[in-house]
Amino acid sequence: MDGYKSGNDDLPAQEAAHDMSLALLELAADALDLIVVVWQLDDDLVCFSSRWSQRAHGIEQLTYLDSMEVRALIHPNDHARLDDAMQECKADASAKVHVDFRIRMPAGWLPVHARFRAIAFDEDGRITRIVAMLTEIKDRERIRLLHTHDLPERFNAAVPGLYANMPRAVASGRDAVMPTFLDWHGRVMKVVLQGDALQSILEDIAHMAEDCVDGASCSILLLDENGEHFVRVAAPSMPPAFHRAMMQLTVEPESGTCGAAVSRRSPVFTGDVASHPLWRNFRELASANKLASCFSWPIFGQSGRVLGTIALYFSTSRAPGDTELMIMPAIGDLAAVAITSQEAKAKIRNLSEYDALTGLPNRSRFQQLLQAELQQAGRRGQFAGLLCINLDRFKIANDRLGQQAGDTVLRQTAHRLRQAVGKADDIARLGADEFAVLVRNSASLESLECLARHLLDSLAQAVKLGHRDFRSTVSIGLCRFPDDGTEAHALMRSADLAMRQAKAQGGNAVCHYAAEMVAASVNRLELQADLRGAAGRDEFKLMYQPKLDLATGRMTGVEALVRWQHPRLGLLPPASFISLAEASGDIVEIGRWVLHAACHQLAAWRAAGQPALPIAINLSALQFADRNLANEIDGTLQRHGLPGNLLELEITESLVMKDPLHAAELLAAMRRIGLRISMDDFGTGYSSLAQLKRFPLDSVKIDRSFVQDIPHDANDTAIIKAIIAMGHALKLKIIAEGVENAEQLAFLQHHGCDEIQGFYFSKPMPVEQLYGFTRTHKDKPTILRLV
């Protein structure tokens, strides 16, 4: 409170006592959650306690304002009520005056109850200080009474909250400005709803303020996202030099009236620009534009964020009048409506054109950017390149480690692409794990391939996912304008076909588009069309691959593998059509056909008096998701008169781990039927043997990718030995598939693998050949035992 004077310089002890009293008063008020306000009448200063400073400004210090600044903080409707309370307090030094009013806070108007009392006098007995204790009003009826004199409710209903600052005209001056305000308000709201450009809307609002306040020139300044610089100015009555100067301002407590309004988060009034410290660095600007006084109000957005300022400038030195104090908060709110409306539309537009996870353009936006670049390249006679990039093992990361890990991989991929390419708008996320890169004015095909190889290496680097590293390769397809397409959609199709070719080669590859790929794509579409209804036309057939028990050398069963007898293309392997069937949903019909065909074969063996070998069939993800699958299988077995133990279902890790609860229920139902259950392709998904103990499994099949390099690959041999040991601990039978040579067989037998399946033992064969193979093997089971 050092800035206050008692009015009597001969009484320093008395002054010190007053200051001590105020300090103790603030401490007490702090403990009671009160706001203390002290009016220093002689100096025309008002001191707010740190309690208000913390709530209004976020700072822990006393705040000193002059009476004009304080008036702007009080709701215009409550000025008269507050003036009356002050007069009553001045008239009776012993009076304790109570009054309700509203004070501005960042979130809006705070209704408070104030208790006034004089606390200091000069030697003539005149009051020099008045103190007020402010407490928040929470009683709804008292709050309602505070709004009694606000604008009619129909205005509040039409534009919620906008008129909270606008008092009902009670004086002739105010009556005169209301029609102008309402006329302008209607016009501005119309253009806001129409979605006009923000600059045009803000200039309309500036004209509105100038029409409502005689002799005023208005400026509206908007802040950047960090709130540190002004990035937009709307001041239609001010010269361009003023605009340029405003755009160079940084927001600081001493950077003019507007900078101070932002920093203080409250209105700031400068009655004499020429002498005021706030304008120390801008007096030449004020003189050149004949600015003598300036009043600025912060524009508040949602959550109390300051969006900018709206200011009035006058050519004469003056204090703010009732008209501007009444009208400008409402005009500022109207500006806030326009700004937040535009921000909301920008966010919607951004969401519709940019990927929320990576911030890159999405497919639609990128196609627009690509088309614009191709048009310019065509006019300039330049080339342009396009790379289509697909992550080879993204699904494993996403499924095994969860969506959060998958998102990390995608964000890291986008980051590395930005580092390599430079410009974010030249990169896009086209889909789940697919990206694109536009190469402007590509010098040559060799330079495109060089960039693609660089990206191949960069994106192959490990991504840190918690405590583990995830490594993935990518498939890249590249094409060039105008050789491989002259329109954006054609070029993107060419790059996509090239990328698919790279993926078909096993991934971690770069392919350049070739015209032959179009024919291959057309063939794929034709094949997909032929696939529809193929099961109903009985175009599929089963091939059987035997399984061998390594302990006895005897056959334990067969796996049924489907082939498509295409009427035009002949016998097609699963790789030619299974992925098509899964994409189209035809896999369900094919799976149902396999189930019936396998059961029919089992029934035929039994009817012929032959031993019925258990048949294993594979389940697709769509079949496994069917809640009625167990009932369907049970019904099929009953129709053929078969026990459940003659049928083995092979499922993959991803099926059970995608929805473990559903998997546990379905597998339990299958076990009740008597079915055998095997986990296929173990090691390529994201489960562990320890997790598998939750499911009623009979066996685990080691994926062929681990078998192919044993016993020479140390990692694969270690993995297989671990799977065998842990599987036996869980009482699971271990089967190795893809066995193709004697070394693999010897290793597996030596380390206790239970069964094998592969070309070294037998290729898949039709049922006619299986009869002879079974008889031969039954008579001489030991000829296939090598160790």
Instruction: Answer yes or no: are the C-beta atoms of 213 and 323 closer than 8 Å.
Output: yes
Phi-psi region of 227 (alpha: psi -120 to 50; beta: other; left: phi over 0): left
Q: In this predicted structure, what is the pLDDT of residue 9?
A: 44
Is the pLDDT at 122 greater than 60, yes or no?
Answer: yes
Counting other chains too, the contacts that 507-511 makes at CB distance below 8 Å and 24 or more residues apart are 507/392, 507/393, 507/473, 507/474, 507/475, 508/392, 508/456, 508/460, 508/473, 508/474, 508/475, 509/475, 509/476, 510/449, 510/452, 510/453, 510/456, 510/476, 510/477, 510/478, 511/475, 511/476, 511/477, 511/478
Which element (helix H / strand E) includes 131?
strand 127-136
Can you read off the two tokens belonging to residue 139?
């009683």
Which of these, 296, 294, 301, 234, lies nearest to 264 by C-alpha position? 296
Which of these, 307, 716, 769, lies nearest to 545 by C-alpha position? 769
Q: In this predicted structure, what is the pLDDT of residue 38?
A: 85
The residues, any chain, with a CB within 8 Å of residue 250's CB and separated by 6 or more, are: 228, 229, 259
Q: Beta strands 468-470 and 434-440: pairing type?
A: unpaired
Over residues 296-322, mean pLDDT: 88
Over residues 419-448, mean pLDDT: 83
* Bridge partners, 391 (sequence order): 474
Residue 103, judged by CB atoms within 10 A of its CB (0-12, 13-18, 19+), counts as buried
Instruction: Answer yes or no: are the C-beta atoms of 382 and 482 closer than 8 Å.
Output: no
Over residues 67-89, mean pLDDT: 79
Over residues 746-756, mean pLDDT: 91
Query: Measured over all CA atoms, what is the biggest interatomic distance in the chain, rounded to whole angstroms?
Result: 131
Instruction: Answer yes or no: are the C-beta atoms of 335 and 310 closer than 8 Å.
Output: yes
Q: Please state the three-class secondary structure of 50-91 as a single string.
A: HHHHHHHHCCCCCEEEEHHHHHHHECHHHHHHHHHHHHHHHH
The residues, any chain, with a CB within 8 Å of residue 784's CB and separated by 6 or more, are: 548, 553, 761, 777
- How does pLDDT run across 581-590, given as a tens digit for each residue? 877 788 888 8
Is the pLDDT at 284 greater than 90, yes or no?
Answer: no
* Bridge partners, 160 (sequence order): none
Q: How confident is the model at residue 544 (pLDDT cuts 50, 70, 90)?
A: very high
Q: How confident is the model at residue 283 (pLDDT cuts 50, 70, 90)?
A: confident
When mean pLDDT is compared across 35-49, 63-77, 345-359, 431-445, the lowest value belongs to 63-77
In order, the DSSP letters of 450-490 are HHHHHHHHHHTS-EEETTEEE---EEEEEEEETTT-SSHHH
Residue 549, judged by CB atoms within 10 A of its CB (0-12, 13-18, 19+), counts as middle
Could you tell me where the DSSP H helices lie in 294-321? none
- How does pLDDT run across 666-708, given as a tens digit for each residue? 888 988 999 999 888 775 544 455 566 778 888 888 888 888 8
Over residues 307-311, mean pLDDT: 93
Over residues 356-379, mean pLDDT: 88
Q: In this predicted structure, what is the pLDDT of residue 205?
A: 92
Over residues 446-454, mean pLDDT: 87
CATH of 12-149, one of 3.60.15.10, 3.30.450.20, 3.30.1330.60, 3.30.43.10: 3.30.450.20
Q: In this predicted structure, what is the pLDDT of residue 497?
A: 84
In order of 567, 576, 580, 581, 586, the CA distances from 570 in angstroms are 6, 12, 17, 18, 20
In order, the DSSP letters of 546-588 are EEEETTT--EEEEEEEEEEEETTTEEE-GGGTHHHHHHHTTHH
Is the pLDDT at 251 greater than 70, yes or no?
Answer: yes
Counting other chains too, the contacts that 142-145 makes at CB distance below 8 Å and 24 or more residues apart are 142/100, 142/111, 142/113, 143/111, 145/100
Could you tell me where the DSSP H helices lie in 289-402? 322-353, 363-380, 394-401
Q: How confident is the model at residue 11 (pLDDT cuts 50, 70, 90)?
A: very low
CATH number of 528-784: 3.20.20.450
Residue 374, judged by CB atoms within 10 A of its CB (0-12, 13-18, 19+), counts as buried
Q: pTM (2 decimals)?
A: 0.43
Is the pLDDT at 785 greater than 50, yes or no?
Answer: no
Q: How confident is the model at residue 325 (pLDDT cuts 50, 70, 90)?
A: confident
Highest averaged pLDDT of the listed ranges 303-307, 486-490, 634-638: 634-638
- How does pLDDT run across 134-192, given as a tens digit for each residue? 888 888 778 777 765 543 333 333 333 333 343 333 334 445 666 777 778 777 877 77
Calculate the average pLDDT of the chain.
80
Highest averaged pLDDT of the listed ranges 180-184, 516-520, 540-544, 653-657: 540-544
Residue 492, judged by CB atoms within 10 A of its CB (0-12, 13-18, 19+), counts as buried
Q: In this predicted structure, what is the pLDDT of residue 561?
A: 92
Q: Where in the sequence of the chain do the CATH 3.30.450.20 domains occur?
A: 12-149
Reported as half-sphere exposure (CB side, CA atoms, 13 A), residue 171 has a value of 9
What 3-state class would DSSP assign to 189?
Answer: helix
In order, the DSSP letters of 193-250 are HHT--HHHHHHHHHHHHHHHSTT-EEEEEEE-TTSSBEEEEE-TTS-HHHHHHHHT-B
Q: Where in the sequence of the chain do the CATH 3.30.450.40 domains occur?
A: 158-351
Q: Where in the sequence of the chain do the CATH 3.20.20.450 domains occur?
A: 528-784
Which of these, 78, 118, 121, lies nearest to 95 by C-alpha position? 118
Q: In this predicted structure, what is the pLDDT of residue 397?
A: 63
Residue 652, judged by CB atoms within 10 A of its CB (0-12, 13-18, 19+), counts as buried
Beta-sheet strands, E only, within 598-712? 615-618, 647-652, 676-682, 699-702
Is the pLDDT at 50 greater than 80, yes or no?
Answer: no
Over residues 267-277, mean pLDDT: 90
Which element (helix H / strand E) includes 140?
helix 140-146
Over residues 607-623, mean pLDDT: 85
Q: Where in the sequence of the chain do the CATH 3.30.70.270 domains occur?
A: 356-514
Is the pLDDT at 305 greater than 80, yes or no?
Answer: yes
Over residues 326-341, mean pLDDT: 86
- How does pLDDT run across 462-475, given as a tens digit for each residue? 887 777 777 778 89
In order of 601, 604, 612, 641, 648, the CA distances from 607 in angstroms are 10, 5, 10, 11, 20
CATH 3.40.50.300 applies to domain 158-351 = no
At the top level of CATH, which class does the domain 356-514 belong to? alpha beta
Residue 127, judged by CB atoms within 10 A of its CB (0-12, 13-18, 19+), counts as buried
Q: In this predicted structure, what is the pLDDT of residue 594?
A: 92
In order, the DSSP letters of 514-538 are -THHHHHHHHHHHHHHHHTTTTTTT
